[in-house]
Homo-oligomer: A and B are copies of this chain.
Amino acid sequence: MPESNSIIDQLFEDEKLTEKQKKIIEAAIDSFSEKGYAGTSTSEIAKKAGVAEGTIFRHYKTKKDLLLSIIAPMLAKSIAPFVIKDIYKVLNHKYERYEDFLRAMIANRDIFLKQNLPLFKILIQEIPFHPELKEQFMEHIAIKIYSRFKDLVLYYQEKGDIIQIPAHSVIRLNISTLMGYFFTRYLIFPDNEWNDEEEIENMVQFLLHGLSPQK
């Protein structure tokens, strides 16, 4: 719980949260990620958070409000900014080669996901059922991230590091490969023994060869 606290503190840093509010959010994240939004009752959250049920509704007008207040910062703060920063790093020639960028991104996202796994699960599971979330997702991820990622792809394509196929395909192949690993690693078989270094190395090689320009 001290650990999950730190995540919450980080994600909700500029909002002043009462001790009880934090408890509520923690409990909600826990329950939503485990049983889904619709499958979790507010009384359950209240009990887990150790507060009265009314307290939840004092802070969040509706149950949906609670959900959104949890996901919004995940979308707004944690995913979008990451790419922006990395973009600048790249433009500052920190990642000369595509391979460098790839390794940096994998490491970065790996840490992020490991820390925010339950939130990530909620995000993934609830997006299909909530149009507002889908919109926010489109705006933050699909538009912002995509447009920045595209610049990167074009940059490395010009340099000759990457094959000349549509940028969106390159992006999708990249993300699919990463997501496939993260899902399998952290959600589907988290209990298997994993040789992470080897997996990542193989994944990097797979992506590099798969995307390298054909002679």
Q: How close is A192's CB to chain B, nearest CB, in angstroms?
A: 9
Interface size bracket, A side: 35 or more
User: In the complex, A110→B35 CA distance in Å?
Assistant: 30
Task: Please tell me how many copies of the chain the complex holds.
Answer: 4
Contact residues of A between 201 and 215, Cβ < 8 Å to B: 202-203, 205-207, 209-212, 214
Question: Which residues of A are in contact with B by a Cβ distance under 8 Å?
Answer: 35-39, 121, 125, 128-129, 142, 165-166, 169, 172-173, 175-177, 179-181, 184, 187-188, 198-199, 202-203, 205-207, 209-212, 214
A214 near B209: Cβ-Cβ < 8 Å: yes
Q: Which residues of B contact A142 (CB under 8 A)?
A: 188
B169 near A199: Cβ-Cβ < 8 Å: yes
User: In the complex, A39→B37 CA distance in Å?
Assistant: 9
Q: Which residues of B contact A202 (CB under 8 A)?
A: 165-166, 169, 173
Q: Which residues of B contact A169 (CB under 8 A)?
A: 199, 202-203
Q: Assuming the A-B contacts A176-B179, A184-B172, are A129 and B39 also in contact, with contact meaning beta carbons closer than 8 angstroms in the complex?
A: yes
User: In the complex, A199→B206 CA distance in Å?
Assistant: 18
User: In the complex, A176→B211 CA distance in Å?
Assistant: 15
A128 near B125: Cβ-Cβ < 8 Å: yes
- From the candidates B125, B180, B214, name the one contacting A180 in the complex (CB within 8 A): B180
User: In the complex, A205→B162 CA distance in Å?
Assistant: 13
User: In the complex, A187→B137 CA distance in Å?
Assistant: 14
- Looking across the interface, which residue of chain B has its beta carbon closest to that of A40? B38
- Looking across the interface, which residue of chain B has its beta carbon closest to that of A36? B129
